[in-house]
Structures are given as C-alpha cells and as structure tokens.
Amino acid sequence: MSHFCLQISFTNQAWSNLAHSPQDRFAVIRAPLERLGGSIHATFFTTGRFDLLAIAEFPEHITPAEISVAFADGGAVASINTSPLLTFAQAVEARNKSSPPPPAPFARNAIWSPSPAANPAPLVAAAF
C-alpha cells in the first residue's frame, strides 16, 4: 500500500453543508477514497491555502492523477494537491536511483613520493 498526503480545498457549497450538518465532517472525502480502495489514517483542518490535510493509504497501483480525478467527480473539492509519502528506505532508494555515482576518490599525484630517493635534497649554493 502507498501513503499520500492530500491537501484539499473545499468549495463554498461544501463548507455550507459542513456548517449545517457537522456530524460527519469527512464524508465528502471518504467516498472518493473508498471508491479507489483507500483509507484515511489522519485528517486535520488547516489554515492557509488548503482547508484540510489528510494522510491516506491506497493500493500500490493508484496514481496521484487517479486520486485527483476521483475527488473532482464528487463536486465538494475545489482543489487537491496529492503528494506521495515515502518511508526513509524508499527515499534513500529513490535518491540512489536519481543521483549520479559519487566521484572517484582523490588520487595522489603520481610524481610525489615520500621516499628520500625519489625526492633528492635541494642543491645548496657554495660560498666563495
């Protein structure tokens, strides 16, 4: 199962419906989630650009586009931002797949050598 962060803005009509019958505040998002085989793990009303933040879980084959379309069909959601959530292991795997390999370790100058035979003492000018 895949987890997603859903940032949702309600339509004015949806807010009006919530105000008049607040018994089930999340019914408008539960129906599209369940049609796709998803479930809600957490929901929070927010301030700012979005009205609601939901953490939801969906079957692996469900894409963010399918989630957006399912919410658009209901009519209560004005906009939705869908972001996949990754575990630490998934994030590391994604980073490793997308980043170039690390550079080769620094190679010492092949001419330099710590042995005295390879680095003779400098010439000293004789005094006359």
pLDDT at res. 7: 94
Q: What is the pLDDT of residue 117?
A: 57
Residue 110 near residue 43 (C-beta atoms within 8 A): no
Neighbours of 33 (CB within 10 A): 22
Question: In order of start, what are the domains of the chain with their CATH numbers?
Answer: 2-88 (3.30.70.920)
SS3 track for 40-84: EEEEEECCCCCCEEEEEEECCCCCHHHHHHHHHHHCCEEEEEEEE
Alpha-carbon distances of 3 from 10, 55, 121, 124, rounded to whole Å: 21, 7, 68, 74
10-residue mean pLDDT profile of the chain (128 residues): values are: 92 82 76 91 91 93 90 84 92 84 60 55 55
Q: What is the pLDDT of residue 3?
A: 94
For residue 98 the two structure tokens come to 């997308």
